[in-house]
A and B are shown apart, each in its own frame.
Chain A
Amino acid sequence: MLVQLPGGWNPLLGRLALDQIPYDNPILAPLFVAVVVGTILLFGLITYYRKWGYLWKEWLTTVDHKKLGVMYIIIGLVMLFRGFIDGLMIRTQQVWANGPHSSGVFGALHGYLTPFHFGQVYSAHGLIMILLAATPLLVGFMNIIVPIQIGARDMAYPYLNALGLWITAAAAVLIMISLFVGDFAHNGWFGYAPIFELQYSPGVGVDYWIWTLQLTALGTTLGGINLLVTIIKMRAPGMTWFRLPIFVWTSLSANIIALTSFPALQVALGLVAADRYLGSHFFTAGFGGNLMLYTNLFWIWGHPEVYFVILPAFGMMSEIFPTFSEKPLFGYVTMVAASFAIAGVSWMVWLHHFFTMGAGPQVNSFFSVATMLVGIPTGVKVFNWAFTMYRGRITYSAAMLWAIGALFMLLVGGMTGMMLAIPAINYMVHNSVFVIAHFHSMLLVIVYAIFGSVIFWFPKVFGFRLDEYWAKVMFWLFTAGSALVFVPMYMLGFMGMTRRLDYVFNPAWHPYLEVMEVGIAVYCLSVLAFVVLLYVSIRDRVKNRAGADAWGTARSLEWLAHSPVPFYNFAVTPHVNARDELAWRREHGMDALEPERYVDIHMPSNTGMALYIGALTFVLGFGLTWRIWWLSLLSLAAIILLMIIRSFRGDDGYIITGAELERMEKEALRNRAQADGKYVSGGRGQVAGTAIAYGRNGASMGGDPFNSSRDGI
């Protein structure tokens, strides 16, 4: 052992022992029982309905980008809920533990959470919301939508795609396990030196934090590579760069940032791990270490990361506004340029997270100006959206409401961000809840855009629309909740309330804390409304069935495919003629053409390998957390072995013959005719001079996902 471990360690179980299970904790123990009962119930139901085979074949081993995307989104929603419960706990503790006369239960002097437990709750909340809720939700949408929008058959590397998903799932499981086995970090979501050093955090909490972050970083990087290659290499014929939908552009810019910045995070965490496991001194005060170097490395990733999550949200808004304004997007080229300007500038501003380090006026001014520069391209975007709506024929559908909500949140968050970017102001409010309110406004932009997109693209994936009424009820409840929670939070920030307080000393703040608690209650109602929304929509799914163009006014290529999109996306790869292809085809009467001839297509086969490797990365993370060396080595060796096996075996894929394809297409078209009542049978290959509906040599012109999967990548 290179480091002095407090507490026991044995070769077989590492630091794991029975007393690490918090069975005497009055909150966790009942929760644990509920989880076990729920799991048994779920497994029982699956067995009873004999769904294991279906689950295995259709979901667990799938390499279909749409199903993987749906699973990403499910993970994201589950983690969003978990993070929300953490948020509820934080708010409840603060309103309860306010003032010297507040009562305390469960061993806490004030409130119901001990400081030790409270620290874990807010650390988990932040980490989960940014990396395991927002990120998977966005990656899920990019996964589903980008390939269809560019007319590809699948992602460039279908197997790598599955691998990214299962590694992300492993990270989610790892952080959930920390609830019941051991404890979690209390160093905040981004960590501080030296509190995360072994000396000051002797438990396994920080180790859980390190390996959860490492796994999400790995999963997201793999996903990012895949999306980049897909966008560059797999575009349908005619889909030139300046015909790409804006969502594709923002995905491209976002993933460039992800690919270039995530390694910085992995290095930072690797060095923390070296300190904790090998006894090095990168971030200790003694022995030549440097505490602020950690903060520096973290935010080199951290700031680009926040733009990694906001850019796809901008893309989503750019798809929703034109559809429900019945106008093309205003300022397409400036929108593209703005996305890349934001991505570029996001690389040079990271010091604004630690202006108070004291690097002096020159450095602070440079980063202050750089930060404020972001406002220019962001402003361009806001005006573009406004001009898109200006004189448009606006329908206030639920998706549109969510997108408009996102726009308002962006204004609030952007303005307060500008304030924080001024060092003189920053010194006053740094580490206050004003900062918390700022970035929650920003992250709410993402949440709004995501719920808008859930409604917007739901019919594309599942073939029926969500219920408009309940979607709007949810929107208004959510908006009321946001206002009630975050307006008082901005005010408290100005009054000097610092972040992460397990005990709020000033009784004068009580009214504000109470209003925030009411806001959380309203948020709870909006969660309920979401459940009702799903229930009602699934109940009425036949009535709400959607045609290919679910909204009647959609513009981009994905709306040309059937709803739900078949596993092969487009039977024959379409030829793209214009920027808003569907709108163009609608104008030229080509939006419901049937191809003349179907040719064989080549598809990648399912594989359980990604699932196995994902599961092993979880075991590896768990083994490392608890310092069970044999388990870590074994799982690492197994991962490497499986990768080698996979690369030698490759994937030959399988062929869907033209005849089969024709049969499936006929069926899909029949359903579609019922849903939207228009389609031309026996379409012409060519209309109106240079316009082409489908390339003549069909499938082989588009991307062929099989090709890249062959190398075992």
Chain B
Amino acid sequence: MSHGHSDPVQHPEVQMSSVRGYLSGFLISVLLMLAATYMSATHAFPPFGLLMVITVCAAIATIAQTYFLLHIDTAEHNIWNTVSLVLFIPLFVLTIGLTWWMFSQLYLHTMPAMTGMH
């Protein structure tokens, strides 16, 4: 260990956190969630548009949370966080991608006339 560990506040990972960071992460996610809930409750868009809008909200919230709350970035003193990012992205793409693929195939095979609805 290169840095002294008598004072945990001196740790670079602890230094990175700030009240402002946590608050912005929290507020952004709450606001996005409320907005998404409101839009689906009021049917603000046609179904497909709603799906897209909610997906975008979710994506922004995910990025805000990983950055502000989990401090996952590519900073050098934060090598293990970067490692988890590198691990996370393929997993994310795999699960979402394969799920999308299997369900689109499922709809294709089970309800050909209705594929457009989903």
| Residue ranges of A at the interface with B (Cβ–Cβ < 8 Å) | 232-233, 256, 260, 264, 288, 290, 292-293, 296, 300, 347-348, 351, 357-360, 362-363, 704, 707-708, 710-711
Contacts and interface: CB of A to CB of B under 8 A. Distances in A.
A358 B95 contact: no
Given A256-B87, A704-B5, A360 B105 contact: yes
A351 B91 CA distance: 15
B14 interface: yes
Task: Across the A-B interface, give the 7 residue pairs with the lowest CB-CB distance, nearest first.
Answer: A707-B5, A359-B102, A359-B106, A359-B105, A360-B109, A360-B105, A363-B102
Of A233, A292, A360, A704, most buried by chain B (CB within 10 Å of CB) is A360
Contact of B91 (A232, A260, A708): A260
A348 B90 CA distance: 11
B35 interface: no
A341 to B, nearest CB: 15
Contact of A359 (B88, B91, B109): B109
Contacts of A358: 106, 109-110
Nearest to B92: A260
Given A260-B91, A292-B103, A360 B108 contact: yes
Nearest to A260: B91
Contact of B106 (A348, A357, A710): A357
Contacts of A292: 103, 106
Nearest to B9: A711
B109 A296 contact: no
Contacts of A232: 80
B105 A362 contact: yes
B109 A347 contact: no
Contacts of A351: 98, 102
Contacts of A293: 103
Given A300-B95, A347-B94, A363-B101, A711 B14 contact: yes
Contacts of A347: 91, 94-95
Interface in B85-118: 87-88, 91, 94-95, 98-99, 101-103, 105-106, 108-110
B8 interface: yes
Interface in B49-65: none
A232 B83 CA distance: 12
Contacts of B94: 347-348
Given A351-B98, A707-B5, 13 more contacts: A232-B80, A260-B87, A290-B103, A296-B99, A296-B102, A347-B94, A351-B102, A358-B109, A363-B101, A363-B105, A707-B8, A708-B8, A711-B8
Contacts of B105: 359-360, 362-363
Contacts of B14: 711
B85 to A, nearest CB: 12
Contacts of A256: 87
A193 B106 CA distance: 17
8 contacts: A256-B87, A264-B95, A357-B102, A358-B106, A359-B109, A360-B105, A360-B108, A711-B8
Interface of B: 1, 5, 8, 14, 47, 80, 87-88, 91, 94-95, 98-99, 101-103, 105-106, 108-110
B95 A360 contact: no
Contacts of B98: 348, 351
A296 B104 CA distance: 13
Of B8, B94, B102, B106, most buried by chain A (CB within 10 Å of CB) is B102
A643 to B, nearest CB: 15
A710 B108 contact: no
Contacts of A710: 8
Contacts of A290: 103
Contacts of A360: 105-106, 108-109
A582 B8 CA distance: 34
B68 to A, nearest CB: 18
A348 B93 CA distance: 11
Of B99, B105, B108, most buried by chain A (CB within 10 Å of CB) is B105
Contacts of A362: 105
B51 to A, nearest CB: 10
A598 to B, nearest CB: 21
Nearest to A704: B5
A547 B8 CA distance: 39
Contacts of A357: 102, 106
A710 B94 CA distance: 38
A308 to B, nearest CB: 15
A260 B5 CA distance: 29
Contacts of A711: 8, 14
B58 to A, nearest CB: 12
B108 A260 contact: no
A523 B103 CA distance: 43
A504 B8 CA distance: 63
A704 B3 CA distance: 13
A276 B88 CA distance: 31
Contacts of A359: 102-103, 105-106, 109
Nearest to A256: B87
B18 to A, nearest CB: 16
Nearest to A288: B47
A260 B110 contact: no
A712 to B, nearest CB: 10
A233 B109 CA distance: 50
Contacts of B95: 264, 300, 347
A707 B106 CA distance: 52
Contacts of B5: 704, 707
A362 B104 CA distance: 12
B42 to A, nearest CB: 15
Nearest to B80: A232
A226 to B, nearest CB: 14
A260 B106 contact: no
Contacts of B80: 232
Contacts of A260: 87-88, 91
A256 B80 CA distance: 13
A260 B108 CA distance: 30
A156 B108 CA distance: 50
A154 to B, nearest CB: 15
Nearest to B5: A707
Nearest to A710: B8
B90 to A, nearest CB: 9
A153 to B, nearest CB: 13
A111 to B, nearest CB: 37
A480 B74 CA distance: 55
A248 to B, nearest CB: 17
Nearest to A707: B5
Contacts of B47: 288
A684 to B, nearest CB: 27
B99 to A, nearest CB: 6
A357 B108 CA distance: 13
Contacts of B1: 233
A298 to B, nearest CB: 12
A290 B8 CA distance: 48
Contacts of B108: 360
Nearest to A300: B95
B86 to A, nearest CB: 12
Nearest to A354: B102
